[in-house]
Structure 1
Amino acid sequence: MDTAIAPSAAPLAPRGIIRRLQSRKGREDPFSLFEEIRSAGPVVSLGPHALLVTGYTECLQILTDRIWHVPDSTWRAARGLTTEGLRATILDTLPRLNPPRHGQMRRMQSGPFTPAALERLRPTVRTLVRTHLDRLEAELNEHGRADFIDTVARALPVAVMCKILGLPAEDRALIARYSLETAVLTEPFADPAQTAAADAAAAEFHAYVMALLDQRARTPAADLMSQCLSHGHSSTERVPREELAAHIVFLAGAGVETTSSLVATAVQVFENHPDQALWLAAHPESVHQAIEELTRWDPSVQNAVRVPAQDTTLAGTPVPAGTLVHALLAAANRDPAHFPDPHTLDFRRPPQRSLAFGAGTHYCLGAPLARLNAAELLPELLRRFPGLRTAGPATRAPGLNLRTFVTLPVTLPVTRPQPVVAL
C-alpha cells in the first residue's frame, strides 16, 4: 500500500466529534451525533488522513469492494505502528487479517457456526436460557433488583461460548471478566491507560487458553479448540499454537460482547417502547424479524475500520490509497436514503439489509449464533418478566466500536393489592 497520502478533500467533521461520541452522553445516545456528522456530508474528514462515513451506500461499498482492506500488520508497519511479541499475535486475529490468510483462519473456526451445527446447539441454548432466567428470578425475589448484565446478558453468551469452545463451565465468571476487559482492544481511540489494561487482560486470557490447548493436545474433545489443533497439524501451513490461542481469545470476547449488547438493548427497548414489546409478546414467531430491526436500530458494533489498497472515491470524494476510513455502521443503518423513517423502531418493518453484522469478507462469523441466542431468549424474557424495568442508568464501557454494557440494573414493579369492593 502507498504510504504517502494526500490531505482529504472531504468537508471537515464536526468539531470535537470523537471526544463527544466517547463522552458518557455520547455513549448512551450516539445517534444525534451521527446525524450531526451526516449533515456535513456522507463522507467527512477526520484530520488530514482519516475519514468518517455515514452513508449506507458508501459503507456497503467499503465493506464489500475488494479494494478495501482492514489495517493489518503490513499497513501498521508502513506507518511505524508496529507491535511485537504477544500483543502482535493477539492483534492479528480475524478482524485484522486480509485475504488469503483471513479466509484460511475463518474456515478453521467456522465449524460451530454453520446452520446445521447451530441447530444441534439450539436445545443447549434453550436450556441455558431457562437456567439464566431462573437466576434472574431468584435475584429479583431475594433482592428486589438484579444486574441484568451479570445474570443474563453477559452470562448467557459466556455459557454458550464455553460450550462451543470447550472452556470449563466453572470458569465462566473468569471468561466474562476477560471478555469485558479485552473489548478495548477493538477500539481505535482508546487512551494508553485503557490499552495497557486491555493488553494485560488479553495476556492473562491468552496464557489461560494456551494451558487449555496443551490439555486438548493430550486429550482431544468435541470442541472448537480440539478442532483447531487438528486443523493446525494437518494444514499445509502449520498454525502456531500461540496463534490458535489468540483466535480463541478473540472468538470468546467477540461472541460474548455482541450478544450481550443485543439482549441488553432489547431490555431497554421493551421498557421504552412498550407497544413494540406487546406486539412481540403477542407474535413470538416474528422474533427473527424483530431481531433484525433491533440490530438495525441500535447495533452492537457501530464502526468498521478499513483502508483502500488503491486510490478510489466515495460519494465523489477522492480517497487516496492507505487512508484510514471509519465506516459508521450505526449511522448507515439510519440513513434515510435507504431506510424510511430510520429513527423509528418498528418490529413490523419489512426486512431490509442492514449492516449490523457487517458485510462482505468480514461479515461477522458469529452473527447466526447471536441471532440464535436472542431468538431463544427474548420471547421467554417477555413471557416470564413482562413488567421488567430498569432500576437506574446503564453503565457502558468507553469506546466507539462496541456498544459494551458494564451494568444494567433491573427490577419488577411492586404489585399493589387491589381494594376490596363491597357488593
Structure 2
Amino acid sequence: MTRQAVVPAADDTNTADAAFASILFSPEGNQNPYPYYHTLRESSPVHQSILGMWVVTRYDDVLSTLRDKTIGKNVERFMQGRFGGDWWSHAALRRMGTSLLWANPPMHTRLRRLANQSFTAAVVAAQRERIVRLLDDLLDPIAEAGGGDIVNDVAYPLPLSVVATLLGMPLEDAPLMREPMRNFQRTFELGLTAQELAAADVGAQFSDDYFTEMIERKRREPGDDLASSLIQVSDADGEALSPIELVGVCNMIIGAGFETTTHTLGNGLRALLKNPDQMSLLRARPELLEGAVEEVLRYDAPVQMAPRMLDEPRVIGGVEIPAPAQLMLAIGAANYDPTHFTEPDEFRITRDESPAISFGAGIHTCLGWRLAKLQAEVFYSTLLRRFPQMELAVEPVYRPRATLRGLESLHISVTNS
C-alpha cells in the first residue's frame, strides 16, 4: 500500500502551518499524518508554527538534536507555557516534573544509571518464555472464535502483564493500571482538554498511591522483581533512589512499557494485513523477522513527536532559532525522510537503510526498547505460526492522538493451523 504525499510549493510557511494543524487537530491528520508530514518537511523543514514551537522534520536534524546533550528538557518552562502558573497543582503534571522522562543531567544521569542496573539485556531476555505463554493464552479465545479484537484483547493485556509482573505487581493487579495510565498518557498530547486533564489527574493519583503502597510492602518483604531491585540498588556514592523517585520510575516503566508496545503490536499487524505480500514474505522467510519489526517501527511509530527546549540560540538545519524556544521533533516525519528511506511510503520488511528513530536517540533513548522489540518479535512470529490465514474483519480506526499513535481496535478473522 502506498500513501500519496502532498507536494507543496517550496518555502510555503502557510502550507506548513496548515499541515501541522491538520496533524494535531483534524480527523484526517489523526488517521493518516504521513502526507501532512511530507508537506511540512518539504515546505518548511525547520518551521516555527503558529503555536510558537519550532517543528523539526528531517531525519538528520531530528537525530542530531536528540543526540545533542546540550539540548535538554525544561519541564518548568514547558508546563508553564502550556498550563500556566498553577500547573504544579495537577497530579498528572507534577509527575512530569519529577519524571526521568523530563530530567536533565546530572539528575537524569543518576536516575538512568540506577534504573539500568535493574533493566539489563539479561533481564529482558529472560522474559521470552513468559511472553510466549501469556501470548498463547491470550490467543486461545481468538483461535476458538475464529477472530476477535487483537488490540484490546491481546495487544493491551500482553505488554501490560509483562511489564507489571516484571516490576513486581501481582498479575491480577495489572488490568487496574490500564485506564489510569491511558488517561495519564493524554498529557503528552498538545490538544489536551480540561476534562482530559482532570481524568489524567485521577489516573496519576491512583498509580502514585498504588506504587507508594507497593514499595513500602517490598521494603518489608523484597522479592525477585524489578521494584525490589530498584529499592536495593545504589550508585557509586551509595545514594539510593528516594521514595518519590522510586514511585516515578515505577510509573515510567508501566506507562512507557505497555502502551507504546501495544501500539507497536497493533500498528504493525495492521501494516502486515494491509500489505499481504509482505506478510507472505515474512511467513516464507522467518529470518526477516528482526528487519520486519524495524520496518514496523519506522512505518507507523508509536511515538510520533518528542519535545525539547532550547536555552541558547542554535542553528538547526540551516535555520537560526533564538532562545528560549520549544522544539517539537517530528519522529514520524523523520522516519519518512526520502533522503534516508527509498520510497518511504512503502511498507517493505527487507529494507536495509537507516535505522528508525522511533525509540529516540541519545541520553533519552527509550529504557525499554529491548523488551518492546522482544514482544513484537514473539507477537508477529506467533500469529503467523498459529494462523495460516489472517484478514481484517473491520477497517481499523486510529485513536484521535498526534503524539502517541495507536489503534482503537483491530478486528481480524483467522484460520487455525
TM-score, structure 1 as length reference? 0.88
What RMSD over aligned residues (CA atoms) do the two structures have, in Å?
2.5
Task: Return the offset for 1:188.
Answer: 3.0
Task: Supply the distance in 1 between the matched residues of 2:390 and 2:133 (Cα, whole angstroms).
Answer: 21
Task: Supply the distance in 1 between the matched residues of 2:235 and 2:341 (Cα, whole angstroms).
Answer: 47
Once the two structures are superposed, residues 153-174 of structure 1 have per-residue CA deviations (whole angstroms, 9 ceiling, x without a partner) of: 1111011101211111012221
Look up the match of 1:310.
Answer: 312
Look up the match of 2:278.
Answer: 276
Larger deviation, residues 145-154 vs 370-379: 145-154
Q: 2:122 aligns with which of 112, 116, 130?
A: 116
Task: Supply the distance in 2 between the matched residues of 1:128 and 1:413 (Cα, whole angstroms).
Answer: 20
Once the two structures are superposed, residues 290-326 of structure 1 have per-residue CA deviations (whole angstroms, 9 ceiling, x without a partner) of: 1111111111110011112311111221111221111
Once the two structures are superposed, residues 338-390 of structure 1 have per-residue CA deviations (whole angstroms, 9 ceiling, x without a partner) of: 21211111111114222111111111111111100011111110121232223
Task: Supply the distance in 2 between the matched residues of 1:59 and 1:65 (Cα, whole angstroms).
Answer: 10
Q: 2:32 aligns with which of 29, 33, 36?
A: 29
Task: Supply the distance in 1 between the matched residues of 2:45 and 2:128 (Cα, whole angstroms).
Answer: 41
Change (3 A) 1:127 1:111: farther
Report the residue type matching 2:395 in the other structure.
P
- Does structure 1 residue 45 correspond to structure 2 residue 44? no
Task: Return the offset for 1:178.
Answer: 2.7
Task: Supply the distance in 2 between the matched residues of 1:132 and 1:215 (Cα, whole angstroms).
Answer: 30
SS at match of 2:356: coil
Change (3 A) 1:217 1:110: same
Greater Rg, structure 1 or structure 2?
1
Task: Supply the distance in 1 between the matched residues of 2:112 and 2:267 (Cα, whole angstroms).
Answer: 28
Task: Supply the distance in 2 between the matched residues of 1:36 and 1:274 (Cα, whole angstroms).
Answer: 28
Once the two structures are superposed, residues 160-207 of structure 1 have per-residue CA deviations (whole angstroms, 9 ceiling, x without a partner) of: 101211111012221222332222122233222222211211111211
Task: Supply the distance in 2 between the matched residues of 1:398 and 1:81 (Cα, whole angstroms).
Answer: 28
TM-score, structure 2 as length reference? 0.89
Task: Supply the distance in 2 between the matched residues of 1:351 and 1:123 (Cα, whole angstroms).
Answer: 31
Look up the match of 1:128.
Answer: 134
- Does structure 1 residue 105 correspond to structure 2 residue 111? yes
SS at match of 1:146: strand
SS at match of 1:84: helix
Once the two structures are superposed, residues 214-236 of structure 1 have per-residue CA deviations (whole angstroms, 9 ceiling, x without a partner) of: 21111111112112222379965
Q: Contact between 2:266 and 2:406, CA under 8 Å: does it hold in 1? A: no
Q: 1:168 aligns with which of 167, 170, 188?
A: 170
Task: Supply the distance in 1 between the matched residues of 2:399 and 2:246 (Cα, whole angstroms).
Answer: 27
Look up the match of 2:374.
Answer: 372
Q: Contact between 1:178 and 1:253, CA under 8 Å: does it hold in 2? A: no
Q: 1:61 aligns with which of 60, 64, 85?
A: 64
Look up the match of 2:88.
Answer: 84
Report the residue type matching 1:128 in the other structure.
L
SS at match of 1:327: strand
SS at match of 1:371: helix
Report the residue type matching 1:127 in the other structure.
R
Q: Contact between 2:20 and 2:49, CA under 8 Å: does it hold in 1? A: no
Q: How many residues align?
A: 403
1:226-241, aligned counterparts within 5 Å?
226-231=228-233, 236-237=238-239, 239-241=241-243
1:3-402, aligned counterparts within 5 Å?
11-12=13-14, 13-15=16-18, 17-47=20-50, 49-73=52-76, 76=79, 81=85, 83-84=87-88, 86-91=91-96, 92-138=98-144, 140-141=145-146, 145-231=147-233, 236-237=238-239, 239-402=241-404
Task: Supply the distance in 2 between the matched residues of 1:353 and 1:239 (Cα, whole angstroms).
Answer: 34
Task: Supply the distance in 2 between the matched residues of 1:74 and 1:237 (Cα, whole angstroms).
Answer: 29
Task: Supply the distance in 1 between the matched residues of 2:180 and 2:205 (Cα, whole angstroms).
Answer: 10
Task: Supply the distance in 1 between the matched residues of 2:344 and 2:19 (Cα, whole angstroms).
Answer: 25
